[in-house]
Each structure stands twice: as C-alpha cells, then as structure tokens.
Amino acid sequence: MHVRGRAAMPALVAVLLAGFVAVAPASAATVGARWQARMGPGGANGTATATIDTSGAGTISVNLKRLARAATYTETLFRGTCAARSTRIATLPSLRTSAGGTVARANSLTAAQATLLNGGSAVIRLVSGSQVYCGALARQAGSAIVTTCDQAHLAAAIAAGGTVRFACDATIRLTTTLAVSKAVVLDGTDRAVAIDGGGKVGLFSVRGGATFGLVNLALRNGRSNGAGGAIDATHGGAVSIVRSTLAGNHAGSGGAVAAGRAAAVTVVASTFVGNVAAGRGGAIDASTVSSTNSTFAANQAENGGPSTPRPGSRSSAAPSATTWRAAPPSRSMAAPRPSGARSWPTGREPNVCSDPPS
C-alpha cells in the first residue's frame, strides 16, 4: 500500500482498522463486551443491548416497539436459551409501554450479573399476561475490553479475536509470548498501555496467517532468539502499526517486527527506536514495508544488516509516505530505497530490510 501525503492518513487508518476487525466469540468473563438481542421475528419488536463497561459492571437497555399498548411487562435475564432457561441472572424492574406500544429504558447490572451475562448463553425475557417476548443475547464484533491490565486478561481477549480495547492504564509485563491465531487489533486509544517483555521473552507470535494490528500502544523490551522481538509474524498475515511506539526490542532478525514473505507491514504515525537485530532488519524484517509519518531512530542490525547506524550519524523522521519493496533479482542486504526514486542520506535510512521472494 502506497499512500501519498499527510491528508491521506485518516483514511488510511480507517481502512486499516476496518480490514483487521473480525467477529469474535464470547471470551472470559473478565473481558468486557457488547451483547444484543433482537426481539420478535426478525427483530420486528426492537432490540435489547447489554454493555459490559470498563468497571466490569454494565447496563441492559431496551428499545422496543409494537408491544401491547399501555401494558406492564416483567423483564428478566436468564442463562440458557429461550426454550430452556436455567439460572436467573437478574430480575429487572417492570417496564410500562406507551400508548403507542413502545418503550425505551436502561437498567444497571452489578458486576456479578455482568459476569454471568458475559459468560455467554444468556437471554432476555419480557412477559405481560399471555404475551411473551424472548431474545438470545449475541456478542457483537470488535467489542472486547480488557478490564484488568495483566497477562491473563490480555491473553483471554486475544484468544477471542476481533478488536481488543483497554479499560486501564498500566504496563502489562509478560512472562511468556502471547499467541495470536485469529485476526486481532489491540487498540489503546485514550489509555496509556505498554506491553513489556522485560528483556526475556518475545511479545507476540502471530500464526496461521492471522492479521495483527496495533493502535496507540507501546511494545517494548521484547526479546527473541528467532524473529521479531515484539511481533513475530513470520507465519502470520499483514501487520498494521498505527500511532504506536516499539522500543528496545531484540531478535535474531527483525529487532521489533518480522513478517512472512507474503505479508506486508504498514506503519502509520509510529516510532521505532532502539531496536536491535543480530542479523538483518534492526527495526523491521519484511518483504514489503509501507511507512507514513513515522520515525525510525537508533535501530541496529549488528551483523551487517541494512542501514546499521554509523558512529555519529543522526536519525530522521520518515517522509510522509514511503514504501519499501524488494527489487528482484538482487538479494543484497543494502538498505532498500523508498519508492519514487527518493533516497536516504547515508547513515540516516530507516533500519528496514526488505527481501525479495525466492
């Protein structure tokens, strides 16, 4: 992807995020989510929506129509199905429809009630005399929220797939590398979240061709004897990094990020600093790397990789839109030049290695 100019950046970010969102099943009860039930045939009577908020509690809101006019309905949440109810999650205050048969109302859920609902297999049931409306609450895509910033909660959210957001400001310290096998975007917008390997473990291993994205996060101090100290996507799909910082990561190749030959790495408004590779690609090792409004500084490839910073050289911000691609048949490890016949001053190129497919 080759995007021209700063004006294109908001559109690029939107495209990247849309491309990385995936429908996700229910995950651990410690991860917030949004659930929705369609009431009546095809949702003809409206919807009920449950939102597990950032504290772990939540709300259940209904927006209903075509019910009995000026009637009172009981409102109850159950585990199970509409045909086979089991545990009662919550009995909510009765609701009263208008003269037109409509009603809109929200009720709070306690943390315990939200936990039961967030475990999946929950229904909402409305009853007025012989009239019964029941709908199964289905988890909505791209709505996981990590409510406690630690490795266990982050791993549970990643296992579900989709977009993962955060309800905490913290450094999440990893003791093992987190596996990513479904399309995932980690979105730290409006939070201050860093993921740290303590210089002992790689941070993420992306498998099975899954795509992986970062937004507003810091990945630091990851270490791998193989590829990608922060993100090893050598067996994954495309990698997107937006408004994020990758710093102090070490690996055999791709100090911060390594991607497979068929996968592109897209970097937008991000910073790579102090990443080190024993082989090639102090910052990134990938076949295609696109960078927009990003900075690469003090990244090193120790054993003759591309663009190892020279003594006394300075780092520079990348141009507003740059794409590095391999140029067969050469497999030279010289720093790849930006497209558009522009070159970097000696000693100031981003430490990126693009290798042509064999």
Mean pLDDT, the chain, as a whole number? 79
Q: pLDDT digit string (tens) for 168-205?
A: 899 999 999 999 999 999 999 889 999 999 999 999 99
User: Can you give the pLDDT at residue 65?
Assistant: 95
User: Can you give the pLDDT at residue 156?
Assistant: 86
**306 has a pLDDT exceeding 60:** no
Residue with tokens 């099975």: 208
Local confidence band at 311 (pLDDT 50, 70, 90 cut-offs)? very low
125/109 Cα distance (integer angstroms): 16
SS3 of the chain: CCCCCHHHHHHHHHHHHHHHCCCCCCCCCCEECEEEEECCHHHCCEEEEEEECCCCCEEEEEEECCCCCCCEEEEEEEEECCCCEEEEEEEEEEEECCCCCCEEEEEEECHHHHHHHHCCCEEEEEEECCEEEEEEEEECCCCEEECCCCHHHHHHHHHHCEEEEECCCEEEECCCCEEECCCEEEECCCCCEEEECCCCCCCEEECCCCCEEEECCEEECCECCCECCCEEECCCCCEEEECCEEECCEECECCCEEECCCCEEEEECCEEECCEECCCCCCEECCEEEEECCEEECCEECCCCCCCCCCCCCCEECCCCEEEECCCCCCCCCCCCCCCCCCCCCCCCCCEECCCCC
Which range is least confidently modeled, 138-147, 209-218, 312-321?
Answer: 312-321
- CATH code for the part of the protein at 34-139: 2.60.40.200
Q: pLDDT digit string (tens) for 128-145?
A: 999 999 999 998 766 677
Q: Where are the domains of the chain?
A: 34-139, 144-353
**What is the pTM assigned to this prediction?**
0.62
User: Can you give the pLDDT at residue 7?
Assistant: 42
